[in-house]
Chains A and B, each alone.
Chain A
């Protein structure tokens, strides 16, 4: 059952990845698009907990790293999304996820995820960019993810709840 859930989740992540690469660049601001894969991982964390979300984060990250047109050092998004899955899953245990809590979790996770990706890029010199360019990109990414939260998180969370209703908490 667990592997079946992971399979379904991977398909959802793949769909998010394709939309992120093919659809959203048309609406992008300075090339920054909403990170739908990250939103799916956060949705998984809020319903299924940190362990499942960390595994899904790894899968989603590897896909983001390898699927065209990615050209950065592989493993960077994987690392970022494992941490995102873990953090979002931990938040769930402390806060009752009301709409406000969900939005703030998304904002925090988006900030953490994009920052980890950017910092690994600085460390590995891949590519050589200045710190000054990172900050606006990270902030716009957070804004995008928060804007898309009301449209993405409810269906994703409903789906994860339905995948295993007896474990889902009401």
Chain B
């Protein structure tokens, strides 16, 4: 065997050794890294106690301050990362101009106007106007303003809950239990806020319950998220009056809660796609297809009381910017 051949072989060996190293490590079996049992047990117990604390804590869970603290740190980072990455992920909107914000404000104004005209014209309000006591409620319900915000983070489906982060928090005047909507309809409600971000529970989450009203019949019921993952989320509507049959293609709007929290009334939610009746339970169950495309959420508005303080422009009920 000549020397050059030997050298060639050496080179090959070196290359393969390097390739091994590139994957990081190590054939050596060593005892140094054998984990201490005590540490492992401590870590597992720590996780279990976190679960116990948070599970039994409910609303006043001791983990809430921790969530808030972590949120204060990660919220601005998520906002920054999302802002930095937005031009790269939005290839169709690649050529963004400096006045894109201005355009978005215009879009939101249009959305606000459309929402108001929807409320004035749809069957829900026509029915409602006939009811004298409903009239005053409708008037006060219309007195709200929108804080514009963008979705900067989406919870993974692996977590089996449907929540998003928006880039407006308590400084923008947002509090827990406020309604979040976009130009298609109801998005969800605010769960918790930090100073610069808020976490929103989407209505398609399995834990979400929204009071809904069928536009044609004025019947009220409850909309349950199915927790179905992906972009084709559906809601189940259970009517309180069990004899009532919702019509296909009926529009469902929010029923509204006292004081507008967590949901203001009259926001379009979705359309009835199919109706099931269960003989055994003698109740009607309708499947609602939401108007909002939850797969491509971006610009949303948070409903705040008119005239509330905010660190950004607020869209008032009459469409003006403040």
Contact = CB atoms under 8 A, between A and B. Distances in A.
A43 B26 CA distance: 12
B55 interface: yes
A51 B26 contact: no
A34 B229 CA distance: 15
Contact of B39 (A51, A102, A118): A51
Given A22-B152, A25-B154, A71-B201, A65 B24 contact: no
A169 B25 contact: yes
B33 A93 contact: yes
A69 B153 contact: yes
B163 A70 contact: yes
Interface string B160-199: 1111110000000000000000000000000110100111
B35 A46 contact: no
Interface string B37-78: 001100110111111111100000101001100110011011
Given A75-B54, A129-B160, A31 B230 contact: yes
A120 to B, nearest CB: 7
A32 B70 contact: no
B82 interface: yes
A35 B157 CA distance: 11
Interface stretch (B15-23, B131-139, B310-318): B15-23
B40 A48 contact: no
Interface in B248-267: none
Interface in A106-141: 114, 117-118, 120-121, 124, 126-129, 133-134, 137-138, 141
A32 B229 contact: yes
B24 A47 contact: yes
A74 B197 contact: no
Nearest to B169: A68
B85 interface: yes
Query: Looking at chain A, what size class is its interface with the partner chain?
Result: 35 or more
Interface string B3-39: 0000000000000000011111111111011111001
Contacts of A39: none
Contact of A74 (B26, B67, B194, B201): B67
Interface string A73-102: 111111100110010010011101111001
Contacts of A58: 43, 46-47
A22 B85 contact: yes
B306 interface: no
A141 B158 contact: yes
Given A74-B50, A75-B48, A21 B155 contact: yes
A1 to B, nearest CB: 14
Contact of B71 (A66, A126, A161): A66
B212 interface: no
Contacts of B39: 51, 54-55
A74 B69 CA distance: 14
A45 B243 CA distance: 60
A8 interface: no
Contacts of B21: 170
Nearest to B202: A69
Contacts of A86: 35, 40
Interface of B: 20-30, 32-36, 39-40, 43-44, 46-55, 61, 63, 66-67, 70-71, 74-75, 77-78, 81-82, 85, 89, 152-165, 191-192, 194, 197-201, 205-207, 227-231, 295
